[in-house]
């Protein structure tokens, strides 16, 4: 569940706020993972490698891509999909050339926590905490700061924001960069758990989109509630039956959810939330 929230947050910003379907989202995650691993292998401590280098590298990459590619295609949904899909394939290809198609990874830091006969990795518990901090921070930025207000205003009505002296292209670039940075952070944080291969993005992208779309309009609460619901269904079904049925249950739940609530969870409940 924490990992579903983690992989979806960057997409929630890019898709949820900007309505840009970024099919290279999975590859942004992959880049974050490689950024963390390369920094770690270069002798950097694991924490700054994951928490600073990964989001920074992918955030900068995101801003560059927005300026070069995405900004020319705002409002042209199909073209954006094609362009970002192309970007996704190009990234998989170039990373394979540089790093090879084998798995790289780092060991999870921290030890294990024992509760009775169950034990879990302390790192996974920490991830839940990090997701909490990110959600809380995101809420504060969006609701309490001038920056958040400008971003929300621009997404709601760009011409009006422009008339009030805001530069929408700059806001779009920053927002896309923040979304990319969040995605890079997620990639860096997941690298110790899952390892990284150039094609790892494929394993995440569908789930990320399903979570964000099921969540609905409110990017923070929507992502959190959808991840909580779908993640619990997946975990419980896997625990009680088999991993194959766990995946099936997640997808089936998302279909039922969208049939009943076409606007996502926050299209019906918590409508005024963020």
Partner 1 sequence: MDFFVWKTSKNLQNGLRDPLQIASRPSETVWDQIVATDFFPLDVTDFGPTIKKIQAAKPDMVMSALVGAAHISFYRQWAAAGMTKQIPLASTTFGNGNEHIVTSAAEHNGIVCSYAYFEEVTSPANVDFVKKFKAKYASSTPWVTELAIMTYHGVNLWAAAVTKAGTTDRMKVIQALEGLSITGPAGKTTIDPKTHHAVLDVYVAEAQDKKFKVLESFPQQPPADTAAVCDLVKNPAENKQYVIDVKV
Judged by the rule CB under 8 A, the positions of this chain that interact with partner 1 are 3, 102-105, 107-108, 111-112, 114, 117-121, 123-124, 192-195, 197, 199-200, 202-203, 234-236, 238-239, 242-244, 246-247
Q: CB of 264 within 8 A of CB of 214?
A: yes
Return the structure tokens found at 164.
């009030």
Tell me the closest approach of the beta carbon of residue 204 to partner 1, in angstroms.
8
Nearer to partner 1, 73 or 108 (CB): 108
Tell me the closest approach of the beta carbon of residue 87 to partner 1, in angstroms.
21
- CA 200 to each of CA 19, 87, 91, 194, 273: distance values in angstroms, whole numbers, following the listed order: 24, 15, 12, 9, 33
Nearer to partner 1, 124 or 148 (CB): 124
Q: CB of 47 within 8 A of CB of 225?
A: no
Tell me the closest approach of the beta carbon of residue 161 to partner 1, in angstroms.
40
Nearer to partner 1, 35 or 83 (CB): 35
Tell me the closest approach of the beta carbon of residue 247 to partner 1, in angstroms.
6
Tell me the closest approach of the beta carbon of residue 137 to partner 1, in angstroms.
25
Nearer to partner 1, 126 or 141 (CB): 126
Sorted by sequence, the CB contacts under 8 Å of residue 118 that are 6+ apart come out as none
Tell me the closest approach of the beta carbon of residue 146 to partner 1, in angstroms.
39
The radius of gyration of the chain's CA atoms, rounded to the nearest angstrom, is: 18
Tell me the closest approach of the beta carbon of residue 120 to partner 1, in angstroms.
5
Nearer to partner 1, 83 or 185 (CB): 185
How far is residue 247's CA from residue 244's CA, in Å, rounded to a whole number? Answer: 5
Nearer to partner 1, 97 or 244 (CB): 244
How far is residue 246's CA from residue 227's CA, in Å, rounded to a whole number? Answer: 14
Return the structure tokens found at 189.
């944080």
How far is residue 65's CA from residue 208's CA, in Å, rounded to a whole number? Answer: 20
Nearer to partner 1, 234 or 266 (CB): 234
How far is residue 260's CA from residue 216's CA, in Å, rounded to a whole number? Answer: 13
- Nearest residue to 178 (alpha-carbon basis) of 66, 47, 46: 66
Angle at 72 between CA 70 and CA 78, to 5 degrees: 70
């Amino acid at each position: 569940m924490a990992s579903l929230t983690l992989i979806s947050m960057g997409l929630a910003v890019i898709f949820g706020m900007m309505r840009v379907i970024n099919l290279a989202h999975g590859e942004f995650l992959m880049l974050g993972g490689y950024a963390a691993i390369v920094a770690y292998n270069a002798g950097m401590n694991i924490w700054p490698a994951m928490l600073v280098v990964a989001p920074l590298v992918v955030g900068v990459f995101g801003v560059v891509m927005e300026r070069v590619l995405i900004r020319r295609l705002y409002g042209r949904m199909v073209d954006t999909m094609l362009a970002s899909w192309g970007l996704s394939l190009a990234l998989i290809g170039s990373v394979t050339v540089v790093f090879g198609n084998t798995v790289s990874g780092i060991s999870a830091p921290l030890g294990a926590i024992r509760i009775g006969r169950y034990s879990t990795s302390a790192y996974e518990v920490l991830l839940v905490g990090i997701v909490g901090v990110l959600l809380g921070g995101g809420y504060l930025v969006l609701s309490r700061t001038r920056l958040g207000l400008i971003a929300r205003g621009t997404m709601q009505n760009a011409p009006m924001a422009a008339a009030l002296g805001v530069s929408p292209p700059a806001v779009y670039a920053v927002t896309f960069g923040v979304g990319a940075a969040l995605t890079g952070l997620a990639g860096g944080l997941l690298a110790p758990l899952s390892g990284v291969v150039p094609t790892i993005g494929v394993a995440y992208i569908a789930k990320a989109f399903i979570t964000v779309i099921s969540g609905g309009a409110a990017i923070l609460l929507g992502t959190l509630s959808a991840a909580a619901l779908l993640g619990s269904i997946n975990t419980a079904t896997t625990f009680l039956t088999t991993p194959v049925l766990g995946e099936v249950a997640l997808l089936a739940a998302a279909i039922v959810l969208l049939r009943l609530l076409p606007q996502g969870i926050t299209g019906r409940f918590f409508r005024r939330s963020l």
